[in-house]
Structure 1
Amino acid sequence: MKTIITFIIVFGVLVIVHEFGHFFFAKRSGILVREFAIGMGPKLIAHQAKDGTTYTLRLLPIGGYVRMAGMGEEEAELPPGLPLSVELNADGAVTKINTSKKIQLTNSIPMELVRHDLEDELTITGFVNGDESEAITYPVLHDATIIEADGTEIRIAPTDVQFQSAKLWQRMLTNFAGPMNNFILAILLFVLLAFMRGGTPITDTNQLGSVIADGVAEKAGLQTADKVVSIDGKRIATWEDLAMTVSENPEKDLDFVVNRNGQTLEMTVTPRAEKSGNQTVGKLDISVPMKTGLTDKIFGGVTEAVDSSLRIFKALGSLFTGFSLNKLGGPVMMFQMSSQAADAGLTTVIALMAMLSMNLGIINLIPIPALDGGKLVLNVLEGVRGKPLSQEKEGILTFIGFGLLMVLMVLVTWNDIQRFFF
């Protein structure tokens, strides 16, 4: 249960923060956000705000999404012959269109749909009260709402509030805002980690941090702030050199040369053995030295975020030199990582969320249709050509990109299942 809750929180926060970026800049650009959903699947609660956005809470507590006007896959299907009802104002204009069998409007007029135009002409035509001798056309208000089959009430999407009606730079910013939010979240979380840990690790030094009482290092005579000059004759220049050498030699006597306040000391230290996954590693019961100033913590968190992004780019680069599904991970791997993080404690959970947030932001900027990066490429292409691709061509590219992503996701998920459960 702890793992499940951790997975839901981590995955949910990452996706909601991502979608909020799209939501915020779409609103600022004058694009109608028809729905902002927390969770997926069947609707539990819905509230339509005065700004025209319907906020919904859905059954499956994983992620969320934003429905922007003019994004074709988000439009409700209204085929001819569809039974529906309309609600009129005092001037005879439609204020509400009900296509749901779950909702009954008290003062509505039943209609069999003949045709409609809710984007430009703003009209709806149909046979009223079962009378098929004459089709009646009603004007539709610009801010009218439509009740979908599941009972969700959203605004209609006239052309002037659709995504394509915004300026090119506004659409580019809206597309980039999701990954941008993930980068901001990652940086904030890495800074938070620096404060929770009490500082930022100093890794370009051979100096010891705190020596744990009654640990291996203290019993061998090592003290806080000692500088390890060499181990078994091997020069030690950085913390990584020290950690690697100790890790590779569990329960082996190591000859340390140490500098303490200008004095050279020699001592024998035997790292204790500790299980780490499928390996046994050596430990000295010491901590990395830390910079503990306020600015050190802030800049240290930012630096760690940058280092995390560089590791992700390096991993992506390795896919081109030697592709392997084992280099990728899907929801199953994320669940496994959430399980390990939940067992390790809050700090590890936050570190996982920070790393995954950076990962999600970068992956979404890969120039593949259906991802934000692919949309940005189409925006750039539009700027070069002076006109956008036709919706048909853009839809085909998006469909192909989405299909490739789904195939890859299935392969990665199956590979993860085999790795972790068989």
Structure 2
Amino acid sequence: MIKTIITFIIVFGILVVIHEFGHYYFAKRAGILVREFSIGMGPKILSFHRGSTTYTLRILPLGGYVRMAGIADDEDEDLKPGMPMSLILDSNNKVTKINTSKKTTLYNGIPIEYLDSDLQKELWITGYENGNEEIVKKYNVDHDALIIEKDGTEIQIAPEDVQFQSATLWNRILTNFAGPMNNFLLAIVAFILLAFMQGGVATNSNQIGTIQENSAAQRAGLKANDKIVAVADKKTTNWTELTTAISSRPDKKTDLKVIRNGKTELIVITPESSKTDSTKTGKIGITVKMDHSFINKITYGFTQSWSVVASIVAVLVGMFTKGVSLNDFGGPVAIYAVTSNAASYGLASVVSLLAFLSINLGIVNLLPIPALDGGKLVLNIIEGIRGKPISPEKEGVITLVGFAFLMILMILVTWNDIQRYFF
């Protein structure tokens, strides 16, 4: 149980960090202010501010986010007239820190009763200082000033010149695409690592790699590097055809045509019966020939990633052409259940799961659904065609609708997963 939980947190954490780092890196590269980089959701556990970004760790390890200045979900907490706050000024009497939190005390801070502000264009704030309502004080605010939010998190204010919409369209497209892109890159690296952990890459040949001890293959006299070219007079040219032919003959005496050292031999074998999901299949105890070359271990990361992408896309197409079922989806509960199974098989299985989930996350995020990266890319494309962006109000409504849809879907999928895996 503890092993599964730790594995789940590590796997999910790696997926989130790598995905969000893609958005973070390209946003920074484009001059977009990243106000917060959060791992986890919900209440804050700890945070620290470095450069222009605040890094936070939150209590629920079920996601994360990069909070970029000026996008729909980067709304400052409402600053309402009458709100008490305190200000820190520099030697030029410019505000460098605005505290709106009751959890934080700014020593040497100037207490004010807030009246109004412009923290995006002209950078000023007004209020009554020390309770003196006879004089309205106006303070200039530094471009890189910090604001302490109600939960005590320090983030930088978001002047207009560092907001998301101030970046070029191309840079915004790259920033939106970078998260899924990083997931695909992670999968490639994970599959390369898996190839090295396994000592090589499985070939799809009809040549035997190893013979298992006390197996039907060992008793029949099969040896490593033998090529099985026919099973019960049925030709086999690759591993898929070979295993399919043997699987169809449980407990049946079977003739194998084998090439050994350039000579053809006939070996009689009886595949052992193995029951899976009430279906009997035959097995003889052989493993596929492995390719141990360095170059194939590297290329395996690319070929296997492409294979998984193709299979997932095929499933998605099938879902929308043949009908969609909640069983076609899997949320955190399903991932936890699969992680538990992978953890029981060892590190190689966990690495393989990480690669598969990373590709899943990348593809799902590219779906053209508002609030997902794919939906944002659609808006970028529309902007490119129109020659001007969609109004922030309309974009906010579209994003809100998409977010509501995702939340409803997540609730339904989670409930379905609980019933599937625990009842």
For the aligned pair, the TM-score class normalised by the smaller chain equals over 0.9
Q: CA deviation at 1:193?
A: 0.8
Partner of 1:30: 31
Partner of 2:374: 373
Partner of 2:57: 57
Partner of 1:191: 192
Can you list the C-alpha shifts for 1:333-362, whole angstroms capped at 9, x where unaligned?
Answer: 111100000001100000000011011111
Can you list the C-alpha shifts for 1:17-69, whole angstroms capped at 9, x where unaligned?
Answer: 000000011111111111112233322322211x2111222333444221111
Q: CA deviation at 1:276?
A: 4.9
| Alpha carbons 2:47, 2:57 under 8 Å: kept | yes
Secondary structure of 1:40's partner? strand
Secondary structure of 1:149's partner? coil
Partner of 2:244: 244
Secondary structure of 1:95's partner? strand
1:13-412 map, 5 Å: 13-49=14-50, 51-77=51-77, 78-203=79-204, 205-274=205-274, 276=276, 281-322=281-322, 323-412=324-413
Secondary structure of 1:102's partner? coil
Partner of 1:417: 418
CA separation of 1:128/1:274 partners in 2, compared to 1, >3 Å: closer, same or farther? Answer: farther
* Structure 2 residue identity aligned to 1:221: G
Question: If the length of structure 1 is used for normalisation, what is the TM-score?
Answer: 0.95
Could you tell me how far apart the structure 2 residues matched to 1:273 and 1:19 are? 48
CA separation of 1:249/1:79 partners in 2, compared to 1, >3 Å: closer, same or farther? Answer: farther
| Alpha carbons 2:206, 2:228 under 8 Å: kept | yes
* Structure 2 residue identity aligned to 1:80: P
> Quick check: 61-70 or 381-390, which moved more?
61-70
| Alpha carbons 1:194, 1:300 under 8 Å: kept | yes
Secondary structure of 2:101's partner? coil
Q: How many residues align?
A: 420
> Quick check: 119-128 or 347-356, which moved more?
119-128
Can you list the C-alpha shifts for 1:107-164, whole angstroms capped at 9, x where unaligned?
Answer: 1111222111100011111222223333322111101100111111111000001111
CA separation of 1:279/1:120 partners in 2, compared to 1, >3 Å: closer, same or farther? Answer: farther
* Structure 1 residue identity aligned to 2:314: K
Could you tell me how far apart the structure 2 residues matched to 1:84 and 1:282 are? 75
> Quick check: 13-22 or 409-418, which moved more?
409-418
Could you tell me how far apart the structure 2 residues matched to 1:280 and 1:341 are? 24
| Alpha carbons 1:200, 1:301 under 8 Å: kept | no
Could you tell me how far apart the structure 1 residues matched to 2:48 and 2:318 are? 46
> Quick check: 123-132 or 94-103, which moved more?
123-132
Can you list the C-alpha shifts for 1:345-384, whole angstroms capped at 9, x where unaligned?
Answer: 1000000000110111111111111111111111111111
Secondary structure of 2:397's partner? helix
Q: CA deviation at 1:224?
A: 1.3
Can you list the C-alpha shifts for 1:171-191, whole angstroms capped at 9, x where unaligned?
Answer: 111111101100100001111
Could you tell me how far apart the structure 2 residues matched to 1:144 and 1:383 are? 33
CA separation of 1:277/1:29 partners in 2, compared to 1, >3 Å: closer, same or farther? Answer: farther
CA separation of 1:46/1:370 partners in 2, compared to 1, >3 Å: closer, same or farther? Answer: same
Could you tell me how far apart the structure 2 residues matched to 1:276 and 1:96 are? 65
CA separation of 1:61/1:101 partners in 2, compared to 1, >3 Å: closer, same or farther? Answer: same
Secondary structure of 1:26's partner? helix
Structure 2: gaps (5+ residues): none
| Alpha carbons 1:176, 1:372 under 8 Å: kept | yes
* Structure 2 residue identity aligned to 1:324: S
Secondary structure of 1:209's partner? strand
Percent same amino acid among aligned pairs?
56
Can you list the C-alpha shifts for 1:179-233, whole angstroms capped at 9, x where unaligned?
Answer: 1100100001111111111111111x22221222332211111111222222223
Please report the RMSD computed on the Cα atoms of aligned residues, expressed in angstroms. 1.7
Could you tell me how far apart the structure 2 residues matched to 1:273 and 1:29 are? 61
CA separation of 1:279/1:8 partners in 2, compared to 1, >3 Å: closer, same or farther? Answer: farther
Could you tell me how far apart the structure 1 residues matched to 2:407 and 2:282 are? 42
| Alpha carbons 1:17, 1:181 under 8 Å: kept | yes
Could you tell me how far apart the structure 1 residues matched to 2:275 and 2:357 are? 25
Question: If the length of structure 2 is used for normalisation, what is the TM-score?
Answer: 0.95
Could you tell me how far apart the structure 1 residues matched to 2:224 and 2:364 are? 42
| Alpha carbons 2:12, 2:61 under 8 Å: kept | no
> Quick check: 105-114 or 224-233, which moved more?
224-233
CA separation of 1:278/1:330 partners in 2, compared to 1, >3 Å: closer, same or farther? Answer: farther
| Alpha carbons 2:86, 2:110 under 8 Å: kept | yes
